[in-house]
Amino acid sequence: MNKTVDFFYGIGSRYSYLAASQMDQLQQDTGASVRWRPLYSTELMKRRGVNPFEGAPPSGQYEPGYRTRDVAQWAQHYGIPFHDPDWSTLDWRRYALAAVAADRLGRVVEFSKRLYDAVFGTGIAPTDGAGLARIADEAGIAGQELLRMIDDPETAQRHERTIADALAAGVFGAPSFVVDGEMFRGNDRLVLLRRYLSARS
């Protein structure tokens, strides 16, 4: 029986962007189904009471310069573009809720891929509703419908359920992958996830 992998990811996570680029190939190679589950990773870390991005970096792994170089090397390895966005000017929580709204509309994969391409691929991230609506249109969603649903209470409730499910599964950051109760954390753990799935296919 084919496995289902819960892919918990944040639009504001560079490593989630990397991992997202590999999901189609993972499904093709292992026969697994990937369920895309967008969340606002800052909220996830807040709920856990640990956020390594607040205050001084706890280790070199979290220093911005290192992370930018590391992601650039991974992007080159995957053969995908990478632009570091202007982090302070973008509304990452709204991006997350937009992806949740797209999930409600049945186009979360298409929308997330296009939003990732805008934020990290081309480096031309949407800064207003018109920009998000354009990306929604490209993903096969009525842009104005997506904008309306971003602020709909059901979208916030669905996001809350995703956060709760992630915490219950032991997820502590994005990207994370959960299958059969096993959690694999990080883009660099994809090789271990692939081995796990292949051994049980």
- Range from 63-67, 156-160, 183-187, 191-195 carrying the lowest mean pLDDT: 63-67
Taking residues 112-135, report their average pLDDT: 96
Task: Report the predicted TM-score, pTM, of the whole model to 2 decimal places.
Answer: 0.92
Tokens of 79: 């053969």
- Work out the angle at residue 109's Cα, subtended by the Cα atoms of residues 155 and 149, and round it to the nearest 5 degrees: 25
Let me know: does 139 contact 131? Beta carbons within 8 Å. Answer: no
With a cut of 80, say whether residue 48 has pLDDT above it: no
Sorting pLDDT into bands at 50, 70 and 90, what band is 166? very high
- Mean pLDDT calculated for residue range 22-50: 93
In sequence order, what E strands does 57-156 have?
A: none
160: domain CATH number is 3.40.30.10
Domain ranges, residue 150: 4-199
Structural domains counted in the chain: 1
